[in-house]
Amino acid sequence: MINRPLRWHRRLQLALAHRLSLPFHRFFSLFPAAEVGHTEAEITNLECRHSPLAGRRAVQISDLHLDRYHPRHDRVLDTIAGLRPDWIFVTGDLLTISRGLPHLFRFLAGLRAIAPVYLTLGNHDHYSGVPADQFSELADRHKLHLLVNQAMFVPTEGGELGIVGLDDPSLHRADLACIPPRTEGRFTVLLAHAPNVLDHLDHRHAVDLVLCGHSHGGQWRVPLVHPFWLPYGCNRRSGGHHHRNGHTLYINRGLGWSMLPIRLNCKPEIVVVDWR
Ligand SMILES: [Fe+2]
């Protein structure tokens, strides 16, 4: 597990913050018209070099907070279908409240109709009250791959894609021991909800690309000013590329919202990874 268990005062602080946000989620998720800044997702293209995967494409989305299915979720599905991915990665905060489950799995079933889907859990998934076992059972039923400190391998001609899904690093649930050793021809993508995972990776970890979410890009942004709201586990990283100890992390701004349904100067994001 990451270093040490989360300290009690931090655990209390995070649980309280979640509790305070619940009435907002319950109320605003009923009114799609209350959402500001969610209409159009920005597409970010990343390029990776690995010849056994040349021509393959993955799409990453994050922080769905899908407590109620809205028309914008159909538009996201249309956009992703148009990108024709080979794999879809979803890096946690699938929902905020347990009553979102049927709405969430309607969306995830839509993703599964496009390509194989690999999911990880985020802090809000754990706080939602939905047991991890129930997420796993529903994922199995919908033929989705929920990875909780687990790895899967997809063979390709002359190599393979390794997909490692960690449990949430911001709650110190990530177990880096599940990262498999380096193997000739394998490209390993590490999916984890929170960016603090980068601070725990070193040269021994055979990871070629880390994909995270959690920050919401700050959600409310003033141009040229560092975001004034970032959740615990970002370590001051709000989005985009970050490098440390030879590892590359990309932080996705996510598709949903926390507390208030407003994204200010901070468009939702869909990340496309192309291998050359
Ligand atoms: Fe989130």
pLDDT in tens, 168-202: 999 999 999 999 999 999 999 999 999 999 999 99
3 in a domain, yes or no? no
**Residue 23 burial (10 A CB sphere; 0-12, 13-18, 19+):** exposed
> What confidence score (pLDDT) does residue 3 get?
63
Q: Is a pLDDT exceeding 70 seen at residue 268?
A: yes
Q: Domain range for residue 87?
A: 8-275
Q: Is a pLDDT exceeding 80 seen at residue 1?
A: no
6 within 8 A of 174, measured Cβ to Cβ: no
CATH of the domain at 115: 3.60.21.10
Distance 257 CA to ligand 1 centre (A): 7
Distance 253 CA to ligand 1 centre (A): 9
> What confidence score (pLDDT) does residue 5 get?
79
> What confidence score (pLDDT) does residue 92 get?
97
> What confidence score (pLDDT) does residue 52 get?
95
100 in a domain, yes or no? yes
> What confidence score (pLDDT) does residue 31 get?
84
Reported residue count of the chain is 276
Distance 64 CA to ligand 1 centre (A): 7
194 in a domain, yes or no? yes
138 in a domain, yes or no? yes
Summarised one tens digit per residue, pLDDT across range 56-103 is 999 999 999 999 999 999 999 999 999 999 999 999 999 999 999 999
> What confidence score (pLDDT) does residue 158 get?
87
Q: Is a pLDDT exceeding 90 seen at residue 255?
A: yes
Distance 276 CA to ligand 1 centre (A): 31
* Minimum mean pLDDT range among 93-97, 197-201, 221-225, 244-248: 221-225
15 in a domain, yes or no? yes
Summarised one tens digit per residue, pLDDT across range 22-47 is 888 888 888 888 899 888 899 999 99
70 in a domain, yes or no? yes
Distance 158 CA to ligand 1 centre (A): 37
> What confidence score (pLDDT) does residue 14 get?
81
Distance 152 CA to ligand 1 centre (A): 24
Sorted by sequence, the CB contacts under 8 Å of residue 263 that are 6+ apart come out as 36, 37, 38, 216, 217, 219, 220, 257
What the block records as the tokens of 153 is 């391998």
Distance 254 CA to ligand 1 centre (A): 7
177 in a domain, yes or no? yes
Distance 173 CA to ligand 1 centre (A): 16
Q: Is a pLDDT exceeding 70 seen at residue 53?
A: yes
Distance CA 242, CA 249 (A): 5
Number of domains in the chain: 1
* Minimum mean pLDDT range among 25-39, 196-210, 239-253: 25-39
Residue 178's nearest CA partner among 120, 242, 139 is: 120
DSSP states along 113-164:
TTS-EEEE--HHHHHTT--HHHHHHHHHHTT-EE-SSEEEEEEETTEEEEEE
Mean pLDDT of 261-272: 94
Q: How many separate helices (H) and strands (E) can be counted in the chain?
A: 5, 12
234 within 8 A of 196, measured Cβ to Cβ: yes
Summarised one tens digit per residue, pLDDT across range 104-144 is 999 999 999 999 999 999 999 999 999 999 999 999 999 99
Q: Is a pLDDT exceeding 70 seen at residue 19?
A: yes
pTM of the entire structure? Answer: 0.95
Distance 93 CA to ligand 1 centre (A): 5
Distance 125 CA to ligand 1 centre (A): 9
171 in a domain, yes or no? yes
